[in-house]
Structure formats: structure tokens, C-alpha cells
Chain A
Amino acid sequence: MTARLLLAEDTRDLNRALTTVLEHEGYNVVSAYDGQEALDYLSSEVFDALVLDIMMPKKDGLQVLSEMRAAGNYTPVLLLTAKAEVDDRVAGLDAGADDYLTKPFAMKELLARVRSMTRRHDDYAKQRVAFEDVLLDAQTFELSAANTVRLSVREFELMQTLVSHASRPLTVDYLLDSVWRQEDDAQEDTVQLYVSYLRGKLKWVGSHVTIQKSDEGFCLANDKTEL
């Protein structure tokens, strides 16, 4: 799929040069020349990522960033800062930028950062992860081996966390942090119950994978090797 970028840069020559290079890399690029124009595009169209210059007429990049985030738009943003000042970069990241690049920059580096931003976005949305005979689909929350079942959001997040650290035991505290984000009423019992749900569901989809508990924490394991 072609990623769609919004490029907001008021210097016409630079805007044109960047557009040419990005289009050559296969991106679909829309150009804006001031902050207000960028906001207008953002309110009417959908983009996969945004390259945003800080110094722009009408509204500067930081204003655009905080207005779009306040409106609930979480499209990844790469800020272009003219000054190498620390305060500028800190302000940008605090306002919700995902990354920044200081002018002058190498075109190669800009492309690498745009790639990283759009890839991150893609991966989260469409990931399918596997461990042994189990497949976990992030789009449908389907857990499958011989059979399939639908997981609840929490069950899915727990399973995904276990799969992405498959070889390492995870402590209850780590799971409460990353899956339950330290919600007030989530406790060790909660984790234990959800582990039990997943063990049951792994069994009923006909998988050989189970969740082992040791002193170090919870870890996926192949049940067959146990027998």
C-alpha cells in the first residue's frame, strides 16, 4: 500500500525538492506551504504520516501539532527544526511529535525517519504473530491453531505480550504495567485469571502451547516437550 504523506514546508524550493524525492520513493505526497493550510488538509483528509517544518507563516509547526493532537489526530509527526536548540526539540516532542530532524539534514536520513514512522504505523495495525503452532491476528483478535476463538481485548494484549517475549519469563508486575497499565483494580489475581483463560483457550483451539508459571514469572512453552 502507498503511504500518504502531508509535507508542510514554506520554503518552496525545499518543498519541491522533498516532494520529488519522497514521490520517487513511492510515497503519495500532499504539499502545504503554511500552518493553516496544513491544518485545513488535516481536517479534511487522512494521512499516514506528517512532515512538519517548525518555522512557518500563519501558524507555526508547534501550533499545528498541538491543535491536531487536541483534535484527536494521532498521525505520526516528524518535525523539521531549523535551529539546533534543545528547547525547540523538547517543546516539539512534548507537544506530541514522534521524531525530529535538524536542518540542514541529509536526504537519506529524512527518508529513513519517514520509513520508520510509516512502518511503525503499518506494523501495529496489521501484525500477525506466531509461536509454535499458534497464530494471533491483531486485526481480528483471533487465536488459532486447529480451531479458532476470538479473544477479548485484554486476553489479546496479554497473549501478544507473551508471544513477543516468548523466550523470557514475564513477572506479574511487568504484565500489570504493560497490559493493565497499572489500573487500580488490576492485581495479581487478575493476571492469574487471564493466564487461566488463555491456557483454556489455547487448549480448546487444539494448540500444544501453554503458559508456564515459574518463580521468575509467566512464559509460553510447548506442552509436548513437557510430556
Chain B
Amino acid sequence: MGVIGYGLGVVGAGIGIGLAALGATSSIARQPEVEGRLFTVFILASAFVEALALIGFVVTLIA
């Protein structure tokens, strides 16, 4: 059951990172000169989202 719950949690994180990547790629396509700064923001946002999925993973394993 825990594994199924973790899978459900990953759906959210997947949507989140997908949206972040969508925003980053379309912004870079419009304004290629901001790529360097956008990369930082994108990595930061992905790390925020990814942390939620990883908390789910670790809680699945520990609990």
C-alpha cells in the first residue's frame, strides 16, 4: 500500500517539474539571452518540487 501511495505522490511532483520545465523552455525560446539566469531558477524550483517527492519516498521506506 505504501508503494502505491508513493506513486500517487510522485504524480504531483512529476506535474510540478514538468510545469517548471515547460516554463523554462518556453521562456528560453522567447528570450535566449536569459538562459543562464533561468537555469538557476529552474534548478531551484525543481529542487523544491523534488524534495516533496523524496520526502514521500523516504517516509515510505521508513514507515
Tell whether A pairs with B: no
